[in-house]
């Protein structure tokens, strides 16, 4: 990784502030404070040990440093928790200080987006990718598929509604909503052809609830999408001489498949149908990228019994809303050992990671857009 050095007027102030913050908390021996230096780069802060040192640098040391700075630098900076210790090499320095630990940070606090749906949609058209916060956006081509988890009332359907609206201006959308609520109503309003809701929502017969029959219907829709995926792959193979390409070369639009309350879909279904559902989902998520088939899923918890781990691992944009604790984050962020810091933002707040996009180095706090009427 090549990093550019960062210097501005308050750079020295912040560096001496950091030194004062870690002086008593990071080391057991005060003399160890002479065994490192700190530098600021565009990407964050670099802790540079000056060898020989009398402390051991390991994952635990890095996490401790991160945890101390995380709180101390709020709100001037927002730290981004990497999934592993970030070691970078520093060229042109003497051997004793040629490497450092990167603590990724952004200046300031990312701001929540607020606007009417049409304002937010316009903004996304201008940017090309889907804005999540003022300085965070989702490039679905580079980072395919999305998954939002969180307890009831944390803002999953609300976030889905926003992304759905933006996506329906970009490509085709399919809405699968076992509650027949927000997503289904919005889809109906935007004229989406494919809305899959349980029969009781349509017929007014509230007695039946969702059962195995509904899941079969969902699987049938997903299999149509799967056929479309294979058709696109075959067209792409015939059309191109390039090795690395995708559906955009064919001049066709992406297809976004939205599923709200994914786990609820499976209640009451037989083992075979459940398995068929999970296997179809797996094929779509693993093979969909080049064909421009993207899944946007929401569920309370990404437990493996509901969502096969291969599906979870293939999803680039992961968001967890609501209360964040080690008990519930481990399903969506199994790599995360320490607690990230969460903005105290009420509804629609949580943490996010976007894999496959060099702009995002790890897990960071998120506030989902607020839709004004
Ligand atoms: N980003 C947000 N901005 C403003 N209000 C929000 C936001 N996210 C959620 N809410 C509020 O929280 C309520 C519950 O959210 P909802 O999406 O229905 O939760 P879930 O689907 O997780 O059960 C919404 O009706 C809305 O009033
Ligand atoms: Mg909901």
Tell me, what's the pLDDT at 323?
86
HEC-encoded secondary structure of 325-370: CHHHHHHHCCCCCCCCCCCCCCCCEEEEEECCCCCCCEEEEEECCE
- Residue 293's nearest CA partner among 246, 240, 260 is 246
> φ, ψ for residue 123 (rounded to 5)?
-60, -40
Q: Cβ-count burial of 231 within 10 angstroms (0-12 exposed, 13-18 middle, 19+ buried)?
A: exposed
Residue keyed to tokens 């701001």: 111
Please say whether the beta carbons of 129 and 138 come within 8 A. yes
pLDDT of residue 207: 44
Please tell me what DSSP assigns to residue 35: S
Ligand 1 neighbour 346 (Cβ under 6 A): no
Q: Residue 278: which of 324, 241, 319, 314 has the closest Cα? A: 314
Residue 243 annotated as binding?
no
Residue whose entry in the numeric block shows the structure tokens 């969702």? 210
Whose CA is closest to atom 4 on ligand 1? Answer: 370
Other Cβ atoms within 10 Å of 198 Cβ, number:
24
Cβ atoms 48, 39 nearer than 8 A: yes
Q: Is 154 in the pocket of ligand 1 (CB under 6 A)?
A: yes
**What ligand has the least distance to the C-alpha of 161?**
1
What's this model's pTM, rounded to 2 decimal places?
Answer: 0.87
The CA R_g of the chain, rounded to the nearest whole Å, is 23
pLDDT at 124 (0 to 100): 80
Q: How many beta carbons lie within 10 A of that of residue 350, not counting itself?
A: 27
Residue 295's DSSP bridge partners are: 257
* Paired residues of 44 in beta bridges: 41, 104
Q: Do residues 165 and 186 touch, judged by C-beta distance below 8 A?
A: yes
At 201 the pLDDT is 62
Token pair of 367 as six digits: 């506030």
Reference 326, options 341, 307, 316, 339; nearest CA is 339
CA–CA dist 26, 106 (Å, integer) = 22
**Ligand 1 lined by 153 (C-beta under 6 Å):** yes
- 155 annotated as belonging to a binding site for a ligand: yes
- The span from the CA of 82 to the CA of 69, in Å, is 14
**Average confidence (pLDDT) per 10 residues, the chain, 373 residues:** 59 94 93 96 95 96 94 91 90 96 91 91 81 93 96 95 93 90 82 74 52 86 96 90 87 95 91 95 96 97 94 96 85 78 78 90 91 90
Task: Name the token pair of 25.
Answer: 């908390």
Output the CA 307–ligand 1 centroid distance in Å: 23
Beta bridge partners of 136: 133
pLDDT of residue 9: 62
Q: 373 alpha carbon to ligand 1 midpoint, in Å?
A: 14
Task: Give the integer Cα–Cα distance in Å for 23 and 330.
Answer: 32
Beta-carbon contacts of 26 under 8 Å, excluding residues fewer than 6 positions away, are 64, 65, 68
Q: Choose among 283, 279, 327: nearest CA to 301.
A: 327
Q: Rounded distance, CA 319 to CA 334, Å?
A: 13
Q: Which pLDDT score is estimated for 200?
A: 63
The neighbourhood of ligand 2, an ion, using CB within 5 A, equals 157
Tokens of 220: 């049938």
Backbone angles phi, psi at 81, to 5 degrees: -80, 115
């Amino acid at each position: 990784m090549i990093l550019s050095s960062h210097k501005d007027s308050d750079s020295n102030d912040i560096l001496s502030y950091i030194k004062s913050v870690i002086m008593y908390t990071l080391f057991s021996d005060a003399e160890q404070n002479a065994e490192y230096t700190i530098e600021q780069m565009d990407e964050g802060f670099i802790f540079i040990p000056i060898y020989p040192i009398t402390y051991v640098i390991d994952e635990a040391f890095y996490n401790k440093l991160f945890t101390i700075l995380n709180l101390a630098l709020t709100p001037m900076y927002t730290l981004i928790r990497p999934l592993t210790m970030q070691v970078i090499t520093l060229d042109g320095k003497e051997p004793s200080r040629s490497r450092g630990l990167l603590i990724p940070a952004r200046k300031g606090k990312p701001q929540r987006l607020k606007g009417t749906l049409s304002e937010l949609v316009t903004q996304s058209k201008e940017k090309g990718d889907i804005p999540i916060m003022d300085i965070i956006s989702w490039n679905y081509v580079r980072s395919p598929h999305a998954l939002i988890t969180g307890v009831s009332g944390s803002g999953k359907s609300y976030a889905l509604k926003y992304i759905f609206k933006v996506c329906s201006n970009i490509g085709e959308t399919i809405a699968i909503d076992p509650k027949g609520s927000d997503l289904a109503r919005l889809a109906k309003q935007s004229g989406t052809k494919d809305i899959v809701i349980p029969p009781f929502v349509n017929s007014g017969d509230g007695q039946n609830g969702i059962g195995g029959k509904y899941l079969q219907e969902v699987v049938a829709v997903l299999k149509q999408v799967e056929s479309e995926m294979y058709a696109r792959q075959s067209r792409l193979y015939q059309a191109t001489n390039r090795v690395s390409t995708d559906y955009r070369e064919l001049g066709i639009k992406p297809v976004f498949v939205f599923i709200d309350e994914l786990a609820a879909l499976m209640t009451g279904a037989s083992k075979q149908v459940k398995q068929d559902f999970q296997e179809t989902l797996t094929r779509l998520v693993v093979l969909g990228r080049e064909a421009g088939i993207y899944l946007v899923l929401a569920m309370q918890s990404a437990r493996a019994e509901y969502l096969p781990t291969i599906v979870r691992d293939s999803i680039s944009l992961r968001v967890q809303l609501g209360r964040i604790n080690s008990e519930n984050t481990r399903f969506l962020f199994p790599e995360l050992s320490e607690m990230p810091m969460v903005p105290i933002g009420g509804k629609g707040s949580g943490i996010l990671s976007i894999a496959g996009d060099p702009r995002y180095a790890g897990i960071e706090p998120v506030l989902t857009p607020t839709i004004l009427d």
